[in-house]
Amino acid sequence: MNSIAQALFTFALLASGVAARPSPHDVFNDLMAPEEPLKRSAEASLKQVSDFGANTSKVKMYIYVPDKLAEKPPIIVAIHYCTGTASGYYNGSPYAKLADQKGFIVIYPESPYSGTCWDVSSRSSLTHNGGGNSNSIANMVTYALDKYKGDATKVFVTGSSSGAMMTNVMAATYPEMFAAAIVYSGTAAGCFYSTSGGADQWNNSCANGQARGTPQVWAKMVFDMYPDYAGARPKMQIYHGSSDSTLAPANYNETIKEWCGVFGYDYTKPDSTKPNSPASRYTTYAWGDKLVGIYAQGVGHTVPIRGSDDMAYFGL
């Protein structure tokens, strides 16, 4: 993983420091109006699973299995923000309600750290099967696929803020596991890398948008997280608000550059640009069939979850 450190050095980053963590915020669903959820039985509730496999980083696993489970159910991993919890994201995001309608399973990991941000800084979490948070979350997916006879071709990951950062990390460290990922207000995978190797370290330079690199440098960081992998990678959808004061809007550009580098797209030349899509003052950019960027003018931290659109992107 020394190559990650070398790549970050090319940014000439300022020394990382501990900054105030993001303050609590709501994850609203005011841009979607799903049908009323089915009346749930006592069985259909958020439940903790403690025996899902190796978990050296001590991440907690919670799972929601609806009453009417699809045959070979898809799985969505929904990752909470700093200050959040699995139950908070279960109640504050639309995925459980949508699971009632569509029969998929939702996994809600919960951070083990004070402040409940995710470890997107340590080498262990930024390495395939490295024993960090990403490894624990991947083991949750493997457990659910086996126990519920899930569809391994329909596994998806999404998250908000720190959970969005972890979503990018999951797509980088376990590309074989996910068909698609949706990132709500995050940073590029590897941007929070700690040169001291610390877990759950806050990185001022990245958060403030000072970590800049070429698509090739960013892509190398992704490739180095799983250097022996040469297979397909999940398609990516990246949301960010222009008024984000927690994770600066420049992080949108760097995340787009990262995945353009991975997929071989020219980030300066999107194939399509759609103003006022999917909502007023949002602009949607698309590169090939693997990358969509959605920039929300005037929106802060975080961009509201668009559950119906998420289902369309996941093909559910």
**Four-CA torsion 304, 32, 171, 66, nearest 10 degrees:** 120
148 neighbors 140 (Cβ within 8 angstroms): no
Counts for the chain of helices (H) and strands (E), in that order: 9, 10
In the sheet with 60-64, reading across from the earlier edge strand, the strands are 47-49, 60-64, 105-110, 75-79, 155-160, 180-184, 235-241, 291-296, 282-287, 272-275
Tokens of 76: 């969505």
CB count, 10 Å around CB of 175?
Answer: 21
Q: What is Dmax (Cα atoms) for the chain?
A: 55
Q: Is 114 a catalytic residue?
A: no
User: What residues contact 230, with CB distance under 8 A and at least 6 apart?
Assistant: none
**Residue 119 CA from chain centroid, whole number:** 12
List 125, 161, 185, 194, catalytic entry: 161
Q: With 0-12 CB in 10 A as exposed, 13-18 as middle and 19+ as buried, what is 26? A: exposed
The CA-CA-CA angle for residues 183, 293, 175, to 5°, reads 50
Q: Residue count of the chain, please give it.
A: 316
CA 201/CA 245 separation, integer angstroms: 19
Active site residues: 161
